[in-house]
Amino acid sequence: MNIRKSMMLWVVLILMFTAACSNSNGTATPKEGVDSGTNQPSDAKKPEETYKITGATYIFGNPPPKDGRGQKMLNEKFNVDYFAEKIPNDNFVEKITAMVAGGSMPDQISFRSTNMDLFNRWAEQNAFFPLNDYIEEFDYLKAIPDELWLPFTVNGKIYGIPTWSPVESQSFMVRKDWLDNLGLPVPTSYEELKKVAIAFTKDDPDQNNKQDTYGLAIGQDINPTFAMGPYWQHDTWYHQDAEGNYIPGLISEGRKELISFFHDLYKEKALTSDFAVVNWADTNNEFYSGKAGVFLIAPRGMSQDYMEALLAIDPKAEFVVLEPFAAPDGSQGFTAGAGFSRFLTLNAKLANQPDKVRKMLEIHEFSRQYYQASKVTPDNKDFDWFYGNEGVGYNLDENNVRVPINDPASGTEPFLYFIDSTAWIGPEDDAEYPHAYSEPKLIDATQQLVDINKKYKLYYPPHVGIISAKETEVGAELTQLLMNEQTKMITGNRPVSDWDAMVQEYMSRGGAKIIEEYNAEIKARGYTERLWK
């Protein structure tokens, strides 16, 4: 027995000696990250992990195919297994809610701006990943202004990344040819606008010897608002009560002045006579058929077809865009848009996967690059790749504008597959709104609006992104109440002198609680003085 033990020990010693000699001669299998010839750390990098990244967002229309060329290009470029489900808009809330409730929330969700109620509820439940520690790490996140982080900040943590939307305000355009025919100046106040609207109604501005025109085109729910600054705007919390609380514009002194203005015009038949029952499409028709002389203009989303229809009726039509009116409190400017049209959230379960989070943010940053239309070229590799390569996914027309070659259903272009493919247009960038059109007069009117927005500061409201529990419960009902009662005041079915009684009804039916809840959050955000910039 002892002999056997001695022999086994001898064999083990021989093996150990052999291994040692082998090591000294460099013939052993090298350790990971160590050069086999020098025993020094190797410069070779560990192969990057291929992350599986899931997502969900909404889409208007049909989604691209799951296995399209653009999807494959995206995964190859970023070395990921990336798929963002595009859910038809009508089913988006229902499906996302089921995902979250069922514990199958994807890595990222891109919400509509109208989904702030879901965001706030789920953020309070810690469903999302806090982004505070990553903002300084990514230039595209650092570029987002502080006021746009506020709506996505809950208990000091930032849970959402806003997607760009214009902050530039809308205004109103007036038929300049009609002003010129009547020898009238461009109105700069509501009193001057009232005179213009009445003259457009009574003084034959189109010189056809018929009384077939009028002033303001307006439709149901008092839309458009014809607010020439936040002082008069119905959905901007600009005014404050005696205690310093911000109040909704619908019950403000400015709104009362505007309703009185409409009441005076209604008596003179200087606005759409049956506005209370006219839908938005028909409201547009009042202006673009040549009947009304004043209507809305926005920085983007105007209909060139409508404008061409008007110019076919009256080729001599000209337009001038109104600058904001000076308010009684001395302010002058428009209200900034919310600044975001959608927003991205990450799943809280990513907390222990920082490298995956960085990969997701890297991809998101790429998808938000802004390519100025007047400067794009296929030589820009990112642009060319993003839109599926020149001659395959797009061509450039004579104005250097990208023209898609394929229907989205082909899935040819990578941009179709990102969860967010909206460029972030910074304050120093030219958004080139007029480049969306080819009709010279629409281009000119849009450029006027762009120039006006550059001339004046914009007011940033304090309530953006706040959802009050009471408003969720009764807000829509109370808003409709105010719209109905204010419509009656315009038509004379209720006197404007009843304003205070109307406000009191709003307050007693839940409005006071809404104001209380909004202001608690406004104060928690640290918002004090009105913000103009």
pLDDT tens-digit series, residues 116-151: 889 989 999 999 999 999 999 999 999 998 888 988
Of 37-51, 57-71, 423-437, the one with minimum mean pLDDT is: 37-51
Q: What is the pLDDT of residues 189-212, one digit of tens each?
A: 999 999 999 999 999 999 999 999
Within a domain: residue 507? yes
Within a domain: residue 5? no
CA torsion sign, 221 to 222 to 223 to 225?
negative
Same domain (yes/no): 194, 210: yes
Same domain (yes/no): 109, 67: yes
Q: What is the pLDDT of residues 300-328, one digit of tens each?
A: 889 999 999 999 999 999 999 999 999 99
pLDDT of 301 reads 86
pLDDT of 44 reads 52
Same domain (yes/no): 145, 178: no
- In the chain, the N- to C-terminal Cα span, in Å, equals 94
User: What residues contact residue 510 under an 8 Å CB cut-off, 6+ apart?
Assistant: 470, 473, 474, 475, 478
Same domain (yes/no): 177, 157: no
Q: What is the pLDDT of residues 115-125, one digit of tens each?
A: 988 998 999 99
| pLDDT score of 388 more than 90 | yes
Which three-class secondary structure state does DSSP give residue 282?
helix
Q: What is the pLDDT of residues 395-430, one digit of tens each?
A: 988 777 888 998 888 999 999 999 999 999 988 888
| Selection from 316, 352, 219, 350 nearest residue 273 by Cα | 219
Alpha helices in 235-327 (DSSP H): 253-267, 280-288, 304-313
Within a domain: residue 415? yes
Same domain (yes/no): 331, 344: no
* Number of structural domains the chain divides into: 2
Which helix H or strand E contains 485, and what residues bound it?
helix 469-491
Q: Which residues pair with 292 in a beta bridge?
A: 214
Same domain (yes/no): 160, 61: yes
Distance CA 332, CA 325 (A): 6
Map tokens 């090298």 to a residue: 30
Q: What is the mean pLDDT of the chain?
A: 90
Rounded average pLDDT over 82-100 = 95
pLDDT of 12 reads 38
User: What residues contact residue 359 under an 8 Å CB cut-off, 6+ apart?
Assistant: 51, 53, 78, 80
pLDDT of 528 reads 84
Within a domain: residue 9? no
Same domain (yes/no): 463, 413: no
Within a domain: residue 155? yes
Q: Which residue segment(s) compose the domain that 386 sits in?
A: 51-166+339-431
pLDDT band at 53 (very low <50, low <70, confident <90, very high): very high
Using alpha carbons, list the distances in angstroms from residue 387 to 380, 396, 417, 421, 433.
Answer: 11, 11, 11, 11, 20
Within a domain: residue 7? no
Estimate the crossing angle of helix 512-524 against helix 469-491, to 10 degrees: 120
Same domain (yes/no): 176, 316: yes
Q: What is the pLDDT of residues 164-182, one digit of tens each?
A: 988 999 999 999 999 999 9
Same domain (yes/no): 253, 126: no
Of 23-27, 84-88, 456-460, the one with minimum mean pLDDT is: 23-27
Pick 362 or 41 by higher pLDDT: 362
Map tokens 């972030």 to a residue: 424
Same domain (yes/no): 213, 326: yes
User: What residues contact residue 145 under an 8 Å CB cut-off, 6+ apart?
Assistant: 339
Same domain (yes/no): 186, 116: no
User: What residues contact residue 301 under an 8 Å CB cut-off, 6+ apart?
Assistant: none
